[in-house]
Structure 1
Amino acid sequence: MPKTPDSPDLFQRLLDVLHDGIVVLDGEDIIELNSAFAEIVGYTKEALLDSRFEDLIDPLSRRTDRKTLDSLYAGKSLARFTTRLRSKDGDVVHADMRPVAVQYQGSDAVLLTVRDITREVSLETAVTQLENRFASLYDMSPVAYFTLNRNGTVEQVNQEAESLLGYDASEVIGKTLSDFLAQRPQTYDPADQVLKEVLRGKEVSGIEVQLKRKDGRLIWVSLSSRALTYSGEKPSEIGLTAFDVTRRRAAEARVREEKDRADLYLGIMTSDLNRVNQSSLYSLELLSGTADLSEEHRRILQETSWNIRRAARMIANMRTLIYLRDSPPPQKQTNLYPHFERGRREASRDFAQKTLTIKTNIRDGAFMVRGHAFLWSVFFNILHNALMYDTDEEVAVEVKASFADKRKKVRIEFIDHGPGIPDAMKERVFRRSGSGDKTIESGLGLTVVSTIVSALGGRVWVEDRVAGRSSEGCKFVVELLAWMDEMEAVTEEAVIDFYKSEDCVFCGPTLEALYLLLDEMSLSHTIVRIIDVDDPASGVPVDELPALPTIRIRNTELAGYVSEDDLRTVVMGALLGLVGTQDT
């Protein structure tokens, strides 16, 4: 049995240099202590000396730790334990107790080392609460969660994952996500592709695959995944979420089906209506040649002929909008003059009873822009609008073009002397919202103008001919991108090679994102060359590619899953770099 120093002063000095609390007990009585213990419970040393240690124990702990305390006072079975003390201020102090039997001044005693672990206990409690809260949120989440190891084996699932697949957790844990695919591809495994991308340090999101539930029902899910923990530099634990998108996919399929049906009906209807209109116009022209018609009858024939032509133009505009949406023409170097001439000629033909006089500076070859085959419709519809609403038989319009923004743009102004457009309507005339608003333009002509100009990266708006006097005519302003020689590199040839496979889970979403980015940059989809590696004629062995999809833009390459942000950064940088190379 250890023996304390014979000198009380020496023993006290030794106790006071220790950071842990020290108490010497004779039974329940405190016969010696140091300052550290006194600070723990908030009393002075003098107040504690010769007091009962039992009085410092929290009442609840006196009951729960009764046997341990009795053994402590008796000096038997002295083992380390934790209990709760009550400070002078009434605060609970969590304490770690380490007793040892000693000889103190010739008598048996217990030396008790006391450490305040209140902060540690509070932290442990907080961590436990957070863990419990996370576990509750994990299980209560409406999104299916899977925790995988780096081999793709499921280690943990939540309740929503069980509900999604129709399996109990025990039936899912230990398997891979590939085991639940509706149909495992012969070459590319979408679940394995997601895992490989995450192991490469990427975060994957929005990948849709079809799974098979326990009851045999097929469901579509959107997968997202990222690494949760790392072992060294490699992910050791992977989190994966799955959200049921079956209803959305079914709704999209129905929308596509209805759209295809509507387009079919629209195509048939417009084709038949065109034939009816042509036949009607032919008959009206024959009647107009009859010599014995009265002036009133001739007026009625002319008005009927005009309405039929107007209906035909609306049908033509509708077909143009559909074509621009489904099959946008390639953008290329375009001379404004032929498009201006055709637009002027077609507009004048519809208003044979009026004379269109145009003052313009547009000459052959004077203004080259980035355009396409439908650019003439911009001139036609704006001039047609002026002819329709100007009540005079002689309609004067000034069409003048000029370079702007350091010759990077071509600005075209159409100035008429018609009834003008109120300020409240100036934006709405370019769109048919379907809201029932009565706009000045009841057809689709200006909507076609806005669609074409926007697709070419330009702008269109309308102003007052005389500022502040909206009833004294309009000034339509069209801004188009001026043609620059370096545009040839990104409009006349494919500059992006996109390698894909039918079994590649990332190919479809990545190609769609690429097309959306090109639309935003006003670039034609024709600059993308699609190379299907499944086709032996492509001459591209799959094992020569780093991953699918692979995107190559000159000397830049992307492979595997690519987020929209990364795709935007690399593609825009590569294309702008390509233009910059052409400049130097």
Structure 2
Amino acid sequence: MFKGALDNIPDRVKVFLLSLTIMFCMISTVYANFYIGIDKVYTHIFYVPIILAGIWYRRKAIYVALGLGLFYIVACTVHDSIIDPDTILRFLIFLVVAGVVGSLSRARERFHSKELQAERAFRRVAKDLQLVLESTDEGIYTTDIEGRCTLINVAGARMLGYGTEEIPGRKMHQLIHHTRANGTPCPAEECCVSRSRITGVGCRISDDIFWRKDGTAFPVEYSSYPIISDEAVIGSVVAFRDITKRKQADEVRSRLAAIVESTDDAIIGTTLDGIVTTWNAGAERIYGYTAKEIIGRHISLTAPPDVKDEIAGILGRIRSGGRFEHYETVRRKKDGALINVSLTISPIVNNAGDITGASAIARDITENKRVERELQEAKAQAEMYNDLLSHDINNINQIGTGYLELALSAPNLDRGVRELLDRSLEALQNSSRLIHNVRKMQEMKATAGKLAPVDICPLLDEIRAEYSGARNGEVRIDLACGNHTRAMANDLLKEVFSNIVGNAIKHSAGPVHVGIASEEISLNNKTYCKVSVEDNGPGIPDDLKPKLFSRFQRGNTKASGRGLGLYLVKNLVEGYGGRVSVEDRVAGDPSKGSRFVIMLPASA
């Protein structure tokens, strides 16, 4: 400690003290021997500056010893008038003491320097180790031989819900590993960390749980290895990781794998060169090849010879990032049978964004294609029969109508006979009208979606001209048409107005007044062409209004018919994107006539 205190003296003070002791030695010698008259020169105090010089200046102390030794020789010579051998011996002793003290001081300095270097290196290693511990996202803690925590990093404390100062000194097994996932206690002797301290052998657990401060558990994987010093285990070091996200990803992968294996569709993975890498149970059922038979072989094995070239085209498109959706083609099974399939093919992209392969979902649509062909054939036959029947029956109706009209024109017909002939004529006309409606429904389906702007006013004027003056002048039709009333429709729009006006006339007795009006209105930020057709006929009862546009629904009138007319009207208007409704001409009084309102999307 005294030596350390001497080392800490500032350099200026060292020079001052050393000079002071040298001067004190020289002055005291002169004073004692020459003034007081002591006959012997004492050298004991000469060792003080020599030792101080050795401590402070190492081997340079030899110069102080040399100076003091020469001074001693001169003093002895002057005092005794001779050079005594003892004087020379003491001079040499001064030099030896200076050399020994300087060498010892230098050796001590080197040793102290190495100590400082070792301490600095240790601190640097400790700092680097601390940086490593604090930089990793894994939890790391160490324990003593009894399992008490001696150190834990920030990541570990954070995962466990503690501060880094709360855990050291506590037994880790009782703190974070006391209970299994099923709720049963976990004995310390069965714990991997405890076993590694007892046996001195490391261990690794890939799926376990640790408990947080708040009492919740989280899945972890961890490893524990013994800390060994002088061939004895003195503790353990544990590294652990929260695997919640990995467990979630594993569950998602498991569900996806189950879906892939349980689906009836074929799910196939290939390289960009077409080599099969995955082949699910659905693919085995559809193509007949087992996964073992086809994985590692080219996917063209499933294509018939005449479509093998399309495989190269598909893979080329996949390489450029393209995809196929519901691509229908033909494939060949293991037994050689050809099947129709619908393919959805997409590129497989890795985490770096590179396309590494192709994923294909294939659905066997052979049965669908067969049913589709049968339906098309049945539809074609039905249309042929319908055309033949419609044409022939309509011709028969026309002939019968002609004969009945000739019979009715005969004079002096009995009233009962005339009534029978009128009913027969009406029945034939209704039959012709039914055939007409069926044809219009076929046309409606054929022209679905083919809409164009239609001028409403000229069309309504045609209807007015066609029905005005009917029934020997009993029918009067008024038309009020607004400006720029154009709707998105097609040629069948005339059937809508003709049907409604014809019904108003047919279901009324005596003079009939029909009013038609059109205007353009805005409703819910959309523009519509509104057409109203009202009459002064018998009206429509309230209980019948909701059912009026249903198929084969007729009004409660004496007029006969099959009720397809308004059903046709509703389908046509809704096909145009509009709607049709019926209401009383005079609100609350159905007996005063009805009003039909047709809303059609207006054209730009």
TM range (shorter): 0.5 to 0.7
The question of 1:277 aligning with 2:400 is answered: no
Change (3 A) 1:472 1:69: same
The question of 1:34 aligning with 2:161 is answered: no
Counting only pairs closer than 5 Å after superposition, residues 280-429 of structure 1 correspond to structure 2 as 280-327=400-447, 331-332=451-452, 334-336=454-456, 338-344=458-464, 352=471, 355-362=474-481, 368-392=486-510, 394-405=511-522, 409-429=528-548
From 320, 323, 330, the equivalent of 1:210 is 330
Counting only pairs closer than 5 Å after superposition, residues 50-449 of structure 1 correspond to structure 2 as 58-60=188-190, 72=200, 80-82=202-204, 95-99=222-226, 102-103=229-230, 108-110=231-233, 113-117=236-240, 119-120=242-243, 131-182=253-304, 184-185=306-307, 189=310, 195=315, 199-201=319-321, 204-230=324-350, 232-327=352-447, 331-332=451-452, 334-336=454-456, 338-344=458-464, 352=471, 355-362=474-481, 368-392=486-510, 394-405=511-522, 409-432=528-551, 442-449=562-569
Change (3 A) 1:312 1:123: closer
Shifted more, 422-431 versus 292-301: the winner is 422-431
1:396 positional shift: 1.4
Q: Which residue of 1 aligns with 2:22?
A: none
Read off the aligned partner of 1:97 and give its amino acid letter: S
2: CA distance, partners of 1:360 / 1:47 = 98
For residues 351-392 of structure 1, give each alpha carbon's deviation from its aligned partner in whole angstroms, at most 9, with x where no partner exists. 7478321122359x9855544433322221111111222133
1: CA distance, partners of 2:170 / 2:418 = 126
1: CA distance, partners of 2:316 / 2:549 = 48
For residues 103-129 of structure 1, give each alpha carbon's deviation from its aligned partner in whole angstroms, at most 9, with x where no partner exists. 3xxxx4245541142635x76666555
Pair member with larger Rg: 2
Asked whether the 8 Å contact 2:430–2:562 carries over to 1, the reply is no
Asked whether the 8 Å contact 1:21–1:34 carries over to 2, the reply is yes
Counting only pairs closer than 5 Å after superposition, residues 492-511 of structure 1 correspond to structure 2 as none
Change (3 A) 1:267 1:46: closer
Asked whether the 8 Å contact 2:516–2:531 carries over to 1, the reply is yes
Change (3 A) 1:480 1:181: same
Change (3 A) 1:451 1:177: farther
1: CA distance, partners of 2:461 / 2:270 = 66
Asked whether the 8 Å contact 2:476–2:512 carries over to 1, the reply is yes
2: CA distance, partners of 1:130 / 1:334 = 56
Unaligned runs of 5+ in 2: 1-118, 135-139, 161-165, 173-185
Q: Which residue of 2 aligns with 1:537?
A: none
Unaligned runs of 5+ in 1: 1-6, 49-55, 73-77, 485-584
2: CA distance, partners of 1:236 / 1:225 = 14
Q: Matched residue of 1:284: which SS?
A: helix
Q: Matched residue of 1:220: which SS?
A: strand
1:234 positional shift: 3.5
2: CA distance, partners of 1:93 / 1:279 = 93
- Give the CA RMSD over aligned residues: 4.7
Asked whether the 8 Å contact 2:453–2:489 carries over to 1, the reply is yes
Read off the aligned partner of 2:330 and give its amino acid letter: Q
1:294 positional shift: 1.1
For residues 543-575 of structure 1, give each alpha carbon's deviation from its aligned partner in whole angstroms, at most 9, with x where no partner exists. xxxxxxxxxxxxxxxxxxxxxxxxxxxxxxxxx
Which structure features the higher share of helix residues? 2
1:130 positional shift: 5.1
For residues 484-530 of structure 1, give each alpha carbon's deviation from its aligned partner in whole angstroms, at most 9, with x where no partner exists. 5xxxxxxxxxxxxxxxxxxxxxxxxxxxxxxxxxxxxxxxxxxxxxx
2: CA distance, partners of 1:387 / 1:124 = 78
Q: Matched residue of 1:34: which SS?
A: strand
1: CA distance, partners of 2:568 / 2:402 = 28
Counting only pairs closer than 5 Å after superposition, residues 521-536 of structure 1 correspond to structure 2 as none
Percent pairwise identity: 23
Provide the TM-score with structure 1 as the length reference.
0.62
